[in-house]
Chain A
Amino acid sequence: MPGKRFFLDRYMELGHELSGDEGTRTSLRVNTLRIGREELVKRLEGLGVTLSKVDYLRDGYVVEESRFSLGASFEYLLGLFNIQEAASQFPVEVLAPAPGETVLDMCAAPGMKTTQMAAHMGNRGAIVAVDVSRKRLYALENTLERCGVENCVAYHADINELEFGGTLFDKILLDAPCSGNYVVDRAWFSKRRPRDFDRNAERQRRLMGTAWRHLREGGTLVYTTCSLEPEEDELNVQWLIDNHGAKLVKIEGPGSPGLTEVLGENLDGALGRCMRYWPDETGTQGFFVAEAVKR
């Protein structure tokens, strides 16, 4: 097994010095389908919870202090908020689904980002949520119900084999299954090998190709992973540019630009328009986000 030192050296080679002990803080997202931001903050503060706004997120707050488990509160059970890590709220902010649009959420379970999209859309328009895992879809169904989502149809299916009768989507979120990162999994360093990344990349590219097929001309695809590995991030987006002519949009936010040179390989300069969340810079888990337009 390569182990922690191997990966830290690898990240150093990618231009980033990490300790491997970075952590993240509990964050929540206000469910604006149920309550206004200020109202929820006031209500939780009345219960002794201290929150601070995450300035780059529409509805995101860091929980500075709470004397009880937020996940077992009336407010959580009523769907007034979700516990959702700050970095994982960012891809939907980039996608910015609007009321009336038709949106595809390709690997949707357990549904945190699906409910976030519904909130952005004010429950208007349509979200198609698809996942291949029936077990994880039970969690999605519960989350949709708890959060009051009414503009979603969800399928238990392999998205690569699903057709929508000619419907093309305005926007697609591909939150691809990936190898994850060490910040949210302390055993990560002892579980992962570089060959896992190549195997994941193959699956991710297949999903990207499917996404592109379902996207209308002028539509937006947001591709995201919680992996720091370039095989699952920049190299996949390079593949999308090379094989489908994707145009990348520059993402503004708190992270670093995507890599344009990876382990000795020079990539398209447009990859600098993507965004990387390095855990030491953002205080979050690792994340990667790319926004591509079909033209």
Chain B
Amino acid sequence: MRMITEFLRGIGSSYTPDEEGVVKINNKRFLVDEKLRMLIVQKDSLVYAGRFLGKDKRDFHPSSILLTKLGAEKGFLNRIHVDRRTAWLFVCGRDIFEENILSHEGSLEEEAFSLVMFEEDCLGYGRVERFEGKKILKNLFDIGDFLRRER
């Protein structure tokens, strides 16, 4: 739970999942309501439950469901906005150079996490890093992953 909260605060969100509703399945975290909780009867066979929040690895890796929710959140979250071409390259797994960022909200300081937005849609997120003297947004997750997973 600490890793989820750290990620959310790091990206500028005030969202806090109700800790009592969080269920862990292997390294995945889900948020379940009372109705779903009653239907969790055989935990060793359970593979999915409720709102998928993300995975715990060394850091917390948010799900696209959580990212979509954050993308729609009002307020000053860290977001960068890109055009269609850059968006497509990002969805193909590429990082984003600073010059390809059309605009941003929130922090673009090094080590900051930021959502990647194409128009109103959140395509993933990354972390601001420096590469060969230039600022980049390192791709940490993009929705193209859904295609890559199916291969």
* Chain A residues with CB under 8 A of B51: 150
* Chain B residues with CB under 8 A of A129: 48
Q: A74 and B41: CB pair below 8 A?
A: no
A–B complex contacts, Cβ < 8 Å, 7 sampled: A74-B88, A102-B35, A138-B149, A148-B65, A151-B36, A153-B40, A155-B42
**In the complex, which residues 140-160 of chain A have their Cβ closer than 8 Å to any Cβ of chain B?**
140-142, 144-146, 148, 150-157
For chain A, the count of residues having a C-beta within 8 Å of the partner chain is 34
> Once the chains are docked, how many angstroms separate the CA of A164 from the CA of B36?
12
* Least Cβ–Cβ distance between A28 and chain B, in angstroms: 16
Nearest chain-A residue to B149 (Cβ)? A142
Q: A156 and B47: CB pair below 8 A?
A: yes
Nearest chain-B residue to A111 (Cβ)? B48
Q: A137 and B47: CB pair below 8 A?
A: yes
* Least Cβ–Cβ distance between A155 and chain B, in angstroms: 5
Q: A141 and B47: CB pair below 8 A?
A: yes
A1 contacts the other chain (Cβ, under 8 Å)? no
* Chain B residues with CB under 8 A of A74: 87-88, 91, 118, 121, 123, 143
Q: Which of A72, A139, A153 contacts B49 (CB 8 A)?
A: A153
A125 contacts the other chain (Cβ, under 8 Å)? yes
B interface, over-half SS: mixed
B residues near A, CB below 8 A?
32, 35-36, 38-42, 45-52, 63-65, 68, 87-88, 91, 118, 121, 123, 143-144, 146-147, 149-150
* Least Cβ–Cβ distance between A216 and chain B, in angstroms: 14
> Once the chains are docked, how many angstroms separate the CA of A71 from the CA of B151?
13
* Least Cβ–Cβ distance between A78 and chain B, in angstroms: 6
Q: B150 and A153: CB pair below 8 A?
A: no
> Once the chains are docked, how many angstroms separate the CA of A163 from the CA of B45?
12
* Chain B residues with CB under 8 A of A148: 65, 68
> Once the chains are docked, how many angstroms separate the CA of A267 from the CA of B93?
57
- Would A153 and B147 be within 8 Å (CB), given that A74-B118, A145-B63, A146-B64 are in contact? no
* Least Cβ–Cβ distance between B86 and chain A, in angstroms: 12
Q: Which of B39, B63, B91, B123 contacts A128 (CB 8 A)?
A: B39
Q: A155 and B121: CB pair below 8 A?
A: no
**In the complex, which residues 26-79 of chain A have their Cβ closer than 8 Å to any Cβ of chain B?**
71-72, 74, 77-79
* Chain B residues with CB under 8 A of A102: 35, 39
Q: A163 and B48: CB pair below 8 A?
A: no
* Least Cβ–Cβ distance between B75 and chain A, in angstroms: 21
Q: B146 and A77: CB pair below 8 A?
A: yes
Nearest 6 interchain pairs by C-beta: A154-B48, A77-B143, A150-B51, A157-B45, A153-B49, A155-B45
> Once the chains are docked, how many angstroms separate the CA of A100 from the CA of B69?
22
> Once the chains are docked, how many angstroms separate the CA of A137 from the CA of B45?
11
Nearest chain-B residue to A153 (Cβ)? B49
Q: A140 and B50: CB pair below 8 A?
A: no
Q: B45 and A156: CB pair below 8 A?
A: yes
> Once the chains are docked, how many angstroms separate the CA of A151 from the CA of B51?
7
* Chain B residues with CB under 8 A of A222: none
* Chain B residues with CB under 8 A of A243: none
> Once the chains are docked, how many angstroms separate the CA of A129 from the CA of B64?
20
Q: A142 and B50: CB pair below 8 A?
A: no
Q: B147 and A163: CB pair below 8 A?
A: no
A167 contacts the other chain (Cβ, under 8 Å)? yes
Q: A145 and B52: CB pair below 8 A?
A: yes
Apart from the given pairs A141-B47, A146-B146, 14 other A-B contacts in the complex at a CB distance below 8 Å? A72-B147, A74-B91, A102-B39, A141-B48, A148-B65, A153-B46, A153-B48, A153-B49, A155-B45, A157-B42, A164-B39, A165-B38, A167-B38, A167-B39
* Chain B residues with CB under 8 A of A263: none
> Once the chains are docked, how many angstroms separate the CA of A154 from the CA of B123?
26
Q: A153 and B123: CB pair below 8 A?
A: no
* Chain A residues with CB under 8 A of B143: 74, 77-78, 146
- Would A154 and B65 be within 8 Å (CB), given that A77-B144, A77-B146 are in contact? no
* Least Cβ–Cβ distance between B51 and chain A, in angstroms: 4
Q: A162 and B144: CB pair below 8 A?
A: no
* Least Cβ–Cβ distance between A80 and chain B, in angstroms: 9
* Least Cβ–Cβ distance between A131 and chain B, in angstroms: 9
Nearest chain-A residue to B118 (Cβ)? A74
